Structure 1
Amino acid sequence: MEKAVSKKAIRKPRFAIVSAVFNASKYLSDFVNSVERQSIPNREIEIIMVDDGSKDDSLEILKGWAETSQKKVTVLTKENGGQASARNLGLRYVTADWVTFTDPDDWVNDDYLFEVSSFIDRHEEIDMIATNRILYIEKAGEFSDSHPTRKMFSKDQLVSLDGFPEFFAGSAPASFMRTEIINGLGLEFDERVRPNFEDGLFCAQYLLSKKSPKVGFLKSAEYFYRKRADESSTLATSMQHQGRFTNVPRYGYLAALREGAQKYGKPPEWLQNLILYELSWFFSGEDQPAGSATAAVGSVGADFLDSLRDISRYLDQNTIDGFSTRRYKETWKEVIRHGIFFHDWHTNYISVIQVDLDAKRMQIAYRFSGKMPKETIYFRGSTVDLEHPKVRSYKYFGESLLFERTGWVSTEGTLRIRLDERSVAVKFGWENTSVNTAFRPKAMRDKILALSDKAHRSVQRAHGVVRNCADSFLGFDLESQFAKFRVNLLSFIADSYFARRIYRNSWVLIDRIHDANDSAEVLFHYLRDERPEVNAWFVLERGTADWKRLKSRKTRKLIPHGSLRWLLLMRNCEKLISSHADVPIVNHPKTEGVLRRQPKFVFLQHGVIKDDISLWLNEKDIRLFVTSTPDEYRYISGDFSPFRFSSREVALTGLPRFDALERAKRHKSDDAKNLIIIAPTWRHWLLAPLEKGRQTRAAESGFVESDFLRNWLELLHRDCWTESSLFFEHEIAFLPHPNLADALHNSDIDIGVRLLRYDDPGLHNYFARASVFVTDFSSIAFNAAYLRCPVVYFQFDRQKVLSGGHVGREGYFDYYRDGFGPVTTHVDEAVSAISNIVVNNGASSPYRDRIEEAFPFRDGKCSERVTKEIESI
């Protein structure tokens, strides 16, 4: 049923604002105030607000506005049916010449409509206006002019899309369209196209009515679109919506492309660019190392790939190569051209992607789809095999669509390579197929200058010298000059005889900046006790609990992180060895410009990798990658793995931390196993990003009220732990991930049980006491399995986590097939599983067998094996 509250207009207005409202009450004041502040006369505006079945007080706010505003405000109500249906209802009430579809959680600048109106007056032939979108990051309270289309809004300009197809307009909220054209086409928003792009399709169909559409791109008309703090907007959550991968490409992208092809023989280039822009978000979402939960798995992913194959047939190769609005990785282009069709293809060249001068070796690579080509490698006239060969898989939308063949060869002779019996070129780096499809004199200035006469170049150089001198004098940056002086002074001290004598060829060991008690510390103590000839140093922040502990033990060669001694050590070190690979460890900002050369990085790992975290780790320059189980080793180094690392970097040794667990186990009897450890990992969406140079995270605003915390507290506070005779001899302990520990402490939450911390020096002894280990997705479960302790997995949010919502995506490890205990999704199930283990005094089959077979080494010699591997690199 529709209801309306309206005011009669004095005369036909020029602009109509149609806005679909659903549960937007907390944002409406910004929207309303910006409309009320518009500097054009009230008679020029009509506002049509459509409440789409809101459950909050949005409707009451809108009615109040309609009653008090001097503008013509019409309020409509309907049952919830989605944004498209609400906009379609609003369109029926439009009487103005031009219409826009501003979202109710956004707002515009005060002269927004004035700038649009003035531009229309100057360009009567115009078909559409596109306005300048400025991002408002609600969480930070900051504005960002970072929208990928911002280059289109460098100034107010009228653009013919036929002549400049790199311009496109696909946002109905930030566009103005002629009502007469919309009505003439009978155009409506397609309600099947959800959760997004209904406005993109609407704009595309509108513009397709003109062979050479003319669009005004207005820098002066600013549209502020809100990135909500709770990320609850339709766009923010759209990748978790199945419709984004089914209905949107089928009824949105394909519908637009087919209509363009039917009208003009093939889709206009501007439309192809719009679709390429939309597709880029799918690919970049897949390439996100964290926080990118996706619905594109299983049949949904397969459905999307079917649509993508149809879409790609409408895309010209030149248009793909010329796309410049966002970065388009070469792998994305290769997937669109070849990978999705699974036909046999390979690059027509070999790329040199890495050189090891010390080993006199270089890594070469080529990419292929379908069947791997026959490769023949000639070195000094004879055929040779690749060293450390590997086939890496690029997986998109649930399918391996592209592959990269890599291997190492000598740099000490002539190299020739044939693929499928044809010689191929050898190039340094990957080829960039991007092309310029538009000539821009400003961008081409250097090339134009190179073609001009020598005298002109001399004048230009002289002018540049004078200008640079003036700029240097007027813009003297004291801070940057001091930074350069600091680096030069540090380098001078670090290169002195005394500093090099102390730190030369050193090994730097660090767990985390703020705490220790992990594999790096265990390995450090091993080196001090068993291999004192190794120049090993341990780094830790001064004043932390672990710093005080190590100082109390009179630990030698302990360096405060961030100190002058640390910088001298880092400049002279040979190897950097850590259980973590975060940026503050591998590339701390304070070492910028200080390092003589990048030390060889040894990744000891914090646990055992079971998930696909390749997108994060592939960016790291890891020279030695420590693994603990045969399955983990094969997953990271083997063929058709998502990781780029091969047998050259990856070693199966076991974690040094396991040696400490083995020692603790030997000092505990089975009778002492009376501890139930509950140890959840963290969630990417509940904690803030790392601050520069730090490894601690603050809780987001919704942390305390989250389902995550509610579920774990419910498990911790169960009455059965204290009231059931079954657990009288057991103690409950809570061990949150280090990223969670600070958030819990700062949130002042009552845990109600013994709280353990990873920086507790007695943590290994607690592990040895555990009779049951409860976690969700933490690799710390492998610690429990190493000690033959059964595990219960409590995974109430498994769908979101395993689809990429946390860090990484589902890997080789299947919790049901490979887990060390039962998988539960509700608190009652978890309690029941824990009870069964206590009653049976251990794990039952098949979990017992999996625990026994998981590790090849339980001998207390992991540190020894790791040391040998480090010495070999």
Structure 2
Amino acid sequence: HALIARVVTDADLAGPVSTAPYYVSRQTQLLITSGYGAVPVVEGAVNLDRTDDRLGLVRARYFYVGPAPAEQVLHGADPVEPAHGTVRTVAYLDRVMLRERILWVAPHDRLSFTIGDRVPPVHDLHPTPRDAPVPQTPEGRRAQKAARSRLRSREFRDAWVFTDKVHAARDNAEHLFSYVREHHRELNAFFVVEEGTACWDRLRAVHGRRVVAHGSHRWRVLMAHCTEYISSHCDAAILTPPALLDFLEPTWRFSLVDHGVRKDDNSAWLNRRPLDMIVTTTPGETASLVGESGYALTGREVVQSGMPRMDRLLDLGRSTPPDQRRLLLVSPTWRNWLVPALEGGSQRRRLVDEALTSQFVVAWTRLLADPALADVCTRHDLDLTLLAHPNLEALLEHLELPAHVRTATYADVDVQETFARTRLLVTDYSSIAFDLAYIERPLVYYQFDAERFRSGQHTFRPGWFVQEEHGFGPATSTHDEAVAAIVAGVEAGPTPSAPYDARIAATFPERDGNCAARTLAGIRRGRE
């Protein structure tokens, strides 16, 4: 930073940056010209870039460097308060270089802003609406024609489409879909998953034609009528499948019923997703998204309702007595450096060639084979079970594990029943620690590669969750420490001990079985 500051301070870069022969974003321009300066700077204009017709709001944004300037929103001569607002920090190498003010305000034909002592111009940067594209494939042409038919328009009118992964379910979208079908039949709800999968067979048997095969003609026509799109994931396979973009311009509202508690900072990735709503579960998570941080989110998008899957998990957890909690469950999360980038349109991960000889595999197989774990399982009548992360399931057939170690995948077990029957969880950085803590199961963290994992080589940076302050069990970094903590945790009994019991209570102040109801209310906000 010191070297860059010397360069940009000594050079007059304002002219070259503003006349660069290629596109340079306003954020980058301000970083170069003002990010290292000592004088506060406010961007020269306020930009309006998005409208929420349901809530009657428009989004305004501007950058500044230095202290937050005084701000006033005006309808003509009348001051008005923003409905929602936040400050997004722009940081490079752990240094905040500039900030972006984001606020949602009521529109007005004489909307203006006073920023500091200036009245900057207001620019309308709303994207130009685009017509549906001309299909380039036979499937697209057929779907576009079918979507305009009276029959399909009636069947799929105002469709709510739920999906977890392309090839799997059992996550928050499925749980919310099931809640809607049981309690709100007035909603025209459908669930999408690949045909031929175990989840397809299971869901189709219950919900019939309400379950639609991903990639099929019927799926294409359904999505052409979708008004509410709800998923536990928001990668390209969910948001921008080429088969849909071939013949339609999406107009749905997208709600992310996130597949885990967002404890780390992956704002750079999430900010590129067009979210209308995102579900949170804990106060710390909510504050990290709507407060001053790297996220471009406000109270308009963030709803602290709790993950819908937590309702069933709570029931199972409470109804499973201690003498039926017979699993010593080992379930680490994946590593970005062990899997190549996703192929376009897919959510299935492969492994790099060196995965089997990696520190990750060596450390976890050594832990699973430790005689002390076998001994404590024998004495307490527990089954030592490895639950593979979905991104690492391909590893299982190659692992050399002792005969007493069982293996499981998310596809072949009811993972919530598995959690309910757990005596103690061993994990590393996985957000499933929150699921187990939610039903008050003890756990141990094994974090032998913490420096690398938190350095940015995985898919996020450290966030609000600080292990020493918020962790639900002891954190270990060596094999011997992990073994000792696991044995001690099993010996201590089936419920978390101090201080972890108090941390769990503070993290989940509301566990009432109404997460799905609150989530649905958040999505419906503004529809009535």
- TM-score, normalisation: structure 2: 0.93
Letter in 2 for 1:506: A
Q: CA deviation at 1:559?
A: 0.5
Q: CA deviation at 1:498?
A: 0.6
Residue 284 (structure 2) aligns with: 631
Residue 749 (structure 1) aligns with: 399
Residue 508 (structure 1) aligns with: 161
Give distance in 2, aligned partners of 1:307 and 1:823. 38
Q: CA deviation at 1:351?
A: 1.0
Residues 1:563 and 2:216 aligned together? yes
Give distance in 1, aligned partners of 2:317 and 2:360. 32
Q: CA deviation at 1:577?
A: 0.5
Give distance in 2, aligned partners of 1:660 and 1:674. 20
Q: Alignment partner for residue 597 of structure 1, among 223, 242, 250? A: 250
Residues 135-150 of structure 1 aligned to structure 2 (within 5 Å) = none
Which of the pair has the greater relative contact order for Cα pairs under 8 Å at 6+ separation?
2
Does structure 2 retain, via aligned residues, the 8 Å contact 1:788–1:852?
no
Residue 487 (structure 1) aligns with: 140
Does structure 1 retain, via aligned residues, the 8 Å contact 2:8–2:36?
no
User: What is the DSSP-based 3-state SS (H/G/I as helix, E as strand, rest coil) of the residue aligned with 2:259?
Assistant: coil
Provide closer, same or farther for how the CA distance between residues 555 and 862 of structure 1 changes in structure 2, counting only shifts above 3 A: farther
Residue 466 (structure 2) aligns with: 814
Residue 361 (structure 1) aligns with: 57
Q: Which digits, 9 at most, give the CA deviation of each residue in 1:673-720, with x for residues without a partner? A: 221111111111110111111100110111111111111111111122
Letter in 2 for 1:577: I
Residues 73-222 of structure 1 aligned to structure 2 (within 5 Å) = none
Structure 1 spans left out of the alignment, 5+ residues? 1-304, 431-479
Q: CA deviation at 1:723?
A: 3.2
Q: CA deviation at 1:584?
A: 0.3
Residues 1:840 and 2:504 aligned together? no
Give distance in 2, aligned partners of 1:744 and 1:778. 18
Q: Alignment partner for residue 10 of structure 2, among 301, 314, 330? A: 314
Provide closer, same or farther for how the CA distance between residues 482 and 384 of structure 1 changes in structure 2, counting only shifts above 3 A: closer
Does structure 1 retain, via aligned residues, the 8 Å contact 2:373–2:483?
no
Q: CA deviation at 1:589?
A: 1.1
User: What is the DSSP-based 3-state SS (H/G/I as helix, E as strand, rest coil) of the residue aligned with 2:298?
Assistant: coil
Give distance in 2, aligned partners of 1:733 and 1:555. 34
- TM-score, normalisation: structure 1: 0.57
User: What is the DSSP-based 3-state SS (H/G/I as helix, E as strand, rest coil) of the residue aligned with 1:850?
Assistant: helix
Give distance in 1, aligned partners of 2:517 and 2:117. 46
Does structure 1 retain, via aligned residues, the 8 Å contact 2:140–2:244?
no
Letter in 2 for 1:393: T
Does structure 1 retain, via aligned residues, the 8 Å contact 2:159–2:226?
yes
Q: CA deviation at 1:761?
A: 4.9
Give distance in 1, aligned partners of 2:29 and 2:367. 48
Does structure 2 retain, via aligned residues, the 8 Å contact 1:756–1:763?
no
Residues 1:862 and 2:515 aligned together? yes
Letter in 2 for 1:757: T
User: What is the DSSP-based 3-state SS (H/G/I as helix, E as strand, rest coil) of the residue aligned with 2:388?
Assistant: coil
Q: CA deviation at 1:555?
A: 4.3
Does structure 2 retain, via aligned residues, the 8 Å contact 1:360–1:412?
no
Letter in 2 for 1:531: H
Provide closer, same or farther for how the CA distance between residues 668 and 343 of structure 1 changes in structure 2, counting only shifts above 3 A: same
Residues 1:711 and 2:345 aligned together? no
Give distance in 1, aligned partners of 2:297 and 2:145. 36
Give distance in 1, aligned partners of 2:289 and 2:347. 25
Residue 186 (structure 2) aligns with: 533
Residue 850 (structure 1) aligns with: 503
Give distance in 1, aligned partners of 2:93 and 2:489. 38
Structure 2 spans left out of the alignment, 5+ residues? 127-132
Q: Which digits, 9 at most, give the CA deviation of each residue in 1:414-469, with x for residues without a partner? A: 11222112211111349xxxxxxxxxxxxxxxxxxxxxxxxxxxxxxxxxxxxxxx
Give distance in 2, aligned partners of 1:774 and 1:683. 17
Letter in 2 for 1:504: R
Provide closer, same or farther for how the CA distance between residues 320 and 785 of structure 1 changes in structure 2, counting only shifts above 3 A: same
Q: Alignment partner for residue 702 of structure 1, among 346, 354, 369? A: 354
Q: CA deviation at 1:336?
A: 3.0
User: What is the DSSP-based 3-state SS (H/G/I as helix, E as strand, rest coil) of the residue aligned with 1:703?
Assistant: helix
Letter in 1 for 2:185: P
Residue 585 (structure 1) aligns with: 238
Letter in 1 for 2:511: R
Provide closer, same or farther for how the CA distance between residues 322 and 315 of structure 1 changes in structure 2, counting only shifts above 3 A: farther
Give distance in 1, aligned partners of 2:379 and 2:365. 18
Residue 776 (structure 1) aligns with: 428
Q: CA deviation at 1:649?
A: 0.5
Residue 394 (structure 1) aligns with: 90
Residues 786-797 of structure 1 aligned to structure 2 (within 5 Å) = 786-797=438-449
User: What is the DSSP-based 3-state SS (H/G/I as helix, E as strand, rest coil) of the residue aligned with 1:704?
Assistant: helix
Q: Alignment partner for residue 421 of structure 1, among 112, 117, 124? A: 117
Does structure 2 retain, via aligned residues, the 8 Å contact 1:653–1:866?
yes
Letter in 1 for 2:150: Y
Q: CA deviation at 1:770?
A: 1.2
Give distance in 1, aligned partners of 2:390 and 2:192. 18
Residue 662 (structure 1) aligns with: 314
User: What is the DSSP-based 3-state SS (H/G/I as helix, E as strand, rest coil) of the residue aligned with 1:377?
Assistant: strand
Does structure 1 retain, via aligned residues, the 8 Å contact 2:135–2:141?
no
Q: Which digits, 9 at most, give the CA deviation of each residue in 1:612-654, with x for residues without a partner? A: 010111000111100000110111112x111101000100000
Provide closer, same or farther for how the CA distance between residues 342 and 560 of structure 1 changes in structure 2, counting only shifts above 3 A: farther
Give distance in 1, aligned partners of 2:158 and 2:379. 54
Residue 33 (structure 2) aligns with: 337
Q: CA deviation at 1:507?
A: 0.7
Residues 164-313 of structure 1 aligned to structure 2 (within 5 Å) = 305-313=1-9
Q: CA deviation at 1:576?
A: 0.8
- Which stretch of the first structure deviates more once superposed, 400-409 or 802-811? 400-409
Residues 1:653 and 2:349 aligned together? no
Residue 340 (structure 2) aligns with: 688
Q: Alignment partner for residue 723 of structure 1, among 375, 385, 395? A: 375
Give percent identity, aligned residues only.
Answer: 33
Letter in 2 for 1:643: Y
Provide closer, same or farther for how the CA distance between residues 485 and 547 of structure 1 changes in structure 2, counting only shifts above 3 A: closer
Q: CA deviation at 1:836?
A: 1.5
Residues 1:548 and 2:198 aligned together? no
- Which stretch of the first structure deviates more once superposed, 714-723 or 518-527? 714-723
Does structure 2 retain, via aligned residues, the 8 Å contact 1:342–1:401?
no
- Taking only aligned residues, the RMSD between alpha carbons, in angstroms, comes to 2.1
Does structure 2 retain, via aligned residues, the 8 Å contact 1:517–1:760?
no
Letter in 1 for 2:440: R
Residue 226 (structure 1) aligns with: none
Give distance in 1, aligned partners of 2:340 and 2:257. 25
Q: Which digits, 9 at most, give the CA deviation of each residue in 1:537-578, with x for residues without a partner? A: 011100011112223446451101000110111000111101
Q: Which digits, 9 at most, give the CA deviation of each residue in 1:131-166, with x for residues without a partner? A: xxxxxxxxxxxxxxxxxxxxxxxxxxxxxxxxxxxx
Does structure 2 retain, via aligned residues, the 8 Å contact 1:511–1:519?
yes
User: What is the DSSP-based 3-state SS (H/G/I as helix, E as strand, rest coil) of the residue aligned with 2:10?
Assistant: coil
Give distance in 2, aligned partners of 1:559 and 1:541. 8
Q: Alignment partner for residue 265 of structure 2, among 612, 621, 628? A: 612
Give distance in 1, aligned partners of 2:28 and 2:451. 26
Give distance in 2, aligned partners of 1:858 and 1:727. 33
- Which stretch of the first structure deviates more once superposed, 394-403 or 590-599? 590-599
Provide closer, same or farther for how the CA distance between residues 830 and 513 of structure 1 changes in structure 2, counting only shifts above 3 A: same
Letter in 2 for 1:674: R
User: What is the DSSP-based 3-state SS (H/G/I as helix, E as strand, rest coil) of the residue aligned with 1:756?
Assistant: strand
Q: CA deviation at 1:727?
A: 4.5
Q: CA deviation at 1:332?
A: 3.1
Letter in 2 for 1:425: P
Count of aligned pairs between the two proteins: 516
User: What is the DSSP-based 3-state SS (H/G/I as helix, E as strand, rest coil) of the residue aligned with 1:313?
Assistant: helix
Q: Which digits, 9 at most, give the CA deviation of each residue in 1:495-547, with x for residues without a partner? A: 11110111111110101011111111111111111111111101110001111
Provide closer, same or farther for how the CA distance between residues 494 and 320 of structure 1 changes in structure 2, counting only shifts above 3 A: same
Give distance in 1, aligned partners of 2:135 and 2:524. 39
Give distance in 2, aligned partners of 1:728 and 1:846. 24
Letter in 2 for 1:560: A
Q: CA deviation at 1:751?
A: 4.2
User: What is the DSSP-based 3-state SS (H/G/I as helix, E as strand, rest coil) of the residue aligned with 2:445?
Assistant: strand
Return the index of the structure with the highest Cα Rg: 1
